Amino acid sequence: MRIAVLALQGAFIEHEQMLERLGVSSLEIRQKRDLESSYDGLIIPGGESTVQGKLVRELGMFEPLKEQIEQGMPVFGTCAGLLLLAKEIENDDRCHFATMDIVAVRNAYGRQLGSFYTEADFANIGKIPMTFIRAPYITKASGNAEVLAAVDEKIVAVKQGNQLVTAFHPELNDNISVHNYFLQMVEENNRRDNK
Ligand code: GLN
């Protein structure tokens, strides 16, 4: 199994380190030709959604990545990665891949006091650490999008088919369970494809 990490901007190294701890090889997606490599899943890291959205377009990766996701490539978006996958961002006119039936709010906890740590339940896992950094939250999950976690009644993790998003940064804590959860999605997808 090999997981691609979009490595244009933001906290991609932390995801690679997490994958290494889990014994899974990773590859960085930095330019269009990297998309031709073979990989079983994709991580879109936290950072700045506007910058990542601009760079994927400028580098000609927007359409091919969107197509891969629409064709069922397992994808895990954290924080800015969540915003890249959302069909709608309430306080931003832009949207990006727009492959997930969620409505998100950017910098939803305010810009100054926007960073905090908490612990909350995650479906099928239990209580886990959650680090939020100028994070979005989700105001609506529709279609077959399943809510996996909420903090103070705000949705912070959703799964929809091959797509998983968290408003927090599981790669910044020691806890490996959310990455494991994603790797299980990837394994199931590989099994379905008889890889
Ligand atoms: N505030 C960032 C954005 O709107 C997301 C922050 C993060 O990824 N830690 O893109």
Task: Give which of 39, 2, 42, 45 is closest to 24, Cα–Cα.
Answer: 2
Beta strand 75-78 with 116-122 is: unpaired
Select which of 171, 179, 187, 188 is catalytic.
171
Q: For residue 5, give the 3-state DSSP assignment.
A: strand
- What CA–CA distance (Å, rounded) separates 88 from 100? 9
Give the pLDDT confidence of 63-96 residue by residue, as tens digits: 999 999 999 999 999 999 999 999 999 999 999 9
Cβ–Cβ under 8 Å, residues 194 and 104: no
Residue minimizing CA distance to atom 5 of ligand 1 = 80
Average pLDDT on 96-106 reads 98
**Test site for ligand 1: of 84, 95, 133, most ligand atoms within 8 A of the Cβ:** 133
Q: What is the pTM of this model?
A: 0.97
Q: Residue 76: what pLDDT?
A: 99
Cβ–Cβ under 8 Å, residues 110 and 103: no
Give the pLDDT confidence of 174-183 residue by residue, as tens digits: 999 999 999 9
Task: Give which of 165, 125, 131, 128 is closest to 145, Cα–Cα.
Answer: 165
**Test site for ligand 1: of 8, 79, 168, most ligand atoms within 8 A of the Cβ:** 79
Residue with tokens 């939250």: 137
Q: Residue 194: what pLDDT?
A: 76
Average pLDDT on 111-117 reads 80
Q: Residue 195: what pLDDT?
A: 66
Element at 41 (helix H, strand E):
strand 41-44
- What CA–CA distance (Å, rounded) separates 66 from 122? 27
| 191 Cβ contact partners less than 8 Å away, ≥ 6 residues apart | none
Give the pLDDT confidence of 121-132 residue by residue, as tens digits: 999 999 999 999
All domains in the chain, ordered by first residue: 2-193 (3.40.50.880)
- ∠ Cα 16 87 82 (to 5°): 25
Q: Residue 114: what pLDDT?
A: 78
Give the pLDDT confidence of 10-61 residue by residue, as tens digits: 999 999 999 999 999 999 999 999 999 999 999 999 999 999 999 999 999 9
